[in-house]
Amino acid sequence: MSAPALDSFRLAKRLDNVGFSDIVQIRNRVMELRSKGATVYQFEGGEPYQPTPDYIKAAAASALEQNQTRYAPSSGIPQLRAAIAAKLNERNHIDASDRNVLVVNGGMQGLFSAFQSVIDPEDDVLIFSPYWTPIKDLVANCGGRLVLVPTTEARAEGFRETLSKYITDKTRAIYFNTPTNPSGVVFTRAETEEVAAFALDRDLIVIADEAYEDIVYEGEHVSIASLPGMFDRTITSFTLSKSYAMTGWRIGYAVAAEPWMTGLAKSTLYSSNGVSTPTQWAALAALTEESDFIEKSRAAYRERRDLLIGGLNELGLGCAPPAGAFYAFPDVSNISRNSREASEILLAKAQVATVPGVVFGPQGEGHVRFSFSTSPEMIEGVLESMRRNL
Ligand SMILES: Cc1ncc(COP(=O)(O)O)c(C=O)c1O
């Protein structure tokens, strides 16, 4: 057999600009330190600290017991799509029917499918920055380009004015994440209305990411698709990962009208052929059974937030309390203006793992991200370690 030409052993060009998450690299570094016996306070993660509630696990067990183990319809089981549509109407005020709902493998698949459905090569996507890093790679995978809109500038100068400054003649969409990872910003109703008015004015599609919709401490969560005229031009990605402590189950849903629904359905069909059937029955229980899990979690996160923010401010790491999500994003420029260096110093001196802010875009430089989804004892421990060692 002849040897393959060397240039056949290369990835498809489409993947040239698609990166691997820096957060994974940090996790590897933490594992390496731990394997050498070091204690590391892990504040770099991004998942609920609690296990999935028992009633949800019981629903999955019961689905298995009843042999709900065959292919489900690739858009999702009808009972779940109907329950999601009811939730969207009641809680998000989004006027969706079950035909507008697609069950997907977590927020990531919903977002992947949304960008695949909307973005062509050379299209630009406006994104408020600092932003959740994987979006860069989801857009790159479509051959599109991110155009960063500094969130602080938009909040100070006005959203319309700021978006008008950054829009290009190739802009096709806005990615709108509220509550925001990593900054914890919850966009107000007035701000969301301004973004919607801009999208309507300039004929842009909105890809909304509401992964943290249930983790809001101040203000209200407003779904942009609920605003007048926005349903038809918005694809919203929701996930059960954060709300119900279900990160490992891989389940979420995307909500849209046509033609987006057809794009989302094709993308899901040919990537995963739908979501595991017992997981969908568990999700149905999560959304329909009476439970105070979300309220209790929110109160627990608030307690952790206040503890960490109070301690960080005392240490001179200035940090306004985040209005949503479970991350603190303090200014660490008095450790180092270079956030990668600041994060290294925090790890080496105080044994605390964080994510350098620059990973979330240049607007995140000078900050690091701490997750406060952990026990109060762990937060006390890390603050004590920082007080002693920094
Ligand atoms: C802003 C944001 N969107 C979406 C997701 C994806 O969530 P999932 O675990 O459901 O894929 C995350 C997860 O960290 C997130 O932070």
Ligand 1: atom nearest CA of 111 is 4
**Mind listing the pLDDT tens digit for each residue in 164-215?**
999 999 999 999 999 999 999 999 999 999 999 999 999 999 999 999 999 9
Which residue do the tokens 């600290």 mark? 49
- Relative to beta strand 368-371, strand 327-328 is antiparallel
The residue nearest atom 1 of ligand 1, judged by CA position, is: 181
Query: In testing the pocket of ligand 1, which one of 127, 136, 138, 242 has its CB within 8 Å of the most ligand atoms?
Result: 242
* C-beta of 107 in contact with ligand 1 (< 6 A): yes
Predicted pLDDT of residue 308: 98
* Termini Cα distance of the chain: 62
Whether the pLDDT of residue 5 is over 80: the answer is no
β-strand partners of 145: 124
Q: Which amino acid belongs to residue 78?
A: P
* C-beta of 247 in contact with ligand 1 (< 6 A): yes
Stretch 15-26: mean pLDDT, rounded? 83
Ligand 1: atom nearest CA of 132 is 1
The residue nearest atom 2 of ligand 1, judged by CA position, is: 211
Tokens matching residue 292: 């105070």
**211 CA distance to ligand 1 centroid (A)?**
6
* C-beta of 211 in contact with ligand 1 (< 6 A): yes
Q: How many helices (H) and strands (E) does the chain have?
A: 13, 12
Query: In testing the pocket of ligand 1, which one of 137, 210, 241 has its CB within 8 Å of the most ligand atoms?
Result: 241
Predicted pLDDT of residue 6: 67
Query: Which ranges in the chain belong to alpha helices (H)?
Result: 22-35, 54-65, 78-87, 106-118, 134-140, 151-157, 159-166, 189-202, 260-269, 277-288, 293-314, 339-350, 376-389
pLDDT > 90 fraction of the chain, expressed in percent and rounded: 91
* C-beta of 366 in contact with ligand 1 (< 6 A): no
Stretch 100-111: mean pLDDT, rounded? 98
* C-beta of 130 in contact with ligand 1 (< 6 A): no
Stretch 112-124: mean pLDDT, rounded? 98
- The CA angle 224-226-230, to the nearest 5 degrees, is 70
Cα–Cα distance list, 194 to 93, 188, 220 (Å): 18, 10, 16
**31 CA distance to ligand 1 centroid (A)?**
22
Stretch 334-351: mean pLDDT, rounded? 95
Ligand 1: atom nearest CA of 209 is 3
Tokens matching residue 164: 């008008």
Whether the pLDDT of residue 305 is over 80: the answer is yes
Residue 288: CB atoms within 10 A of its CB come to 16
Q: What is the mean pLDDT of the chain?
A: 96
CA atoms within 13 A on the CB side of 249: 29
CB distance 159 to 191 below 8 Å: yes
* Sheet with 205-209, side-by-side order of all strands: 101-104, 252-255, 234-239, 205-209, 171-177, 124-129, 145-150
How much is the pTM? 0.96
* C-beta of 182 in contact with ligand 1 (< 6 A): no
* C-beta of 113 in contact with ligand 1 (< 6 A): no
Cα–Cα distance list, 213 to 224, 240, 298 (Å): 12, 10, 11
Whether the pLDDT of residue 23 is over 80: the answer is no
* C-beta of 179 in contact with ligand 1 (< 6 A): no
The residue nearest atom 6 of ligand 1, judged by CA position, is: 107
**107 CA distance to ligand 1 centroid (A)?**
5
The residue nearest atom 5 of ligand 1, judged by CA position, is: 107
Whether the pLDDT of residue 4 is over 70: the answer is no
Ligand 1: atom nearest CA of 241 is 10
Q: How far apart are CA 133 and CA 47, in angstroms?
A: 16
**46 CA distance to ligand 1 centroid (A)?**
8
Using pLDDT thresholds of 50, 70 and 90, give the confidence band for residue 31.
confident
Stretch 319-324: mean pLDDT, rounded? 97
* C-beta of 132 in contact with ligand 1 (< 6 A): yes
Using pLDDT thresholds of 50, 70 and 90, give the confidence band for residue 1.
low
The residue nearest atom 3 of ligand 1, judged by CA position, is: 211
Using pLDDT thresholds of 50, 70 and 90, give the confidence band for residue 30.
confident
CB distance 12 to 29 below 8 Å: no
The 10 Å CB-count burial string (b at 16+, else e) for 99-130 is: ebbbbbbbbbbbbbbbbbbbbeeebbbbbbbb
**215 CA distance to ligand 1 centroid (A)?**
13
Using pLDDT thresholds of 50, 70 and 90, give the confidence band for residue 47.
very high
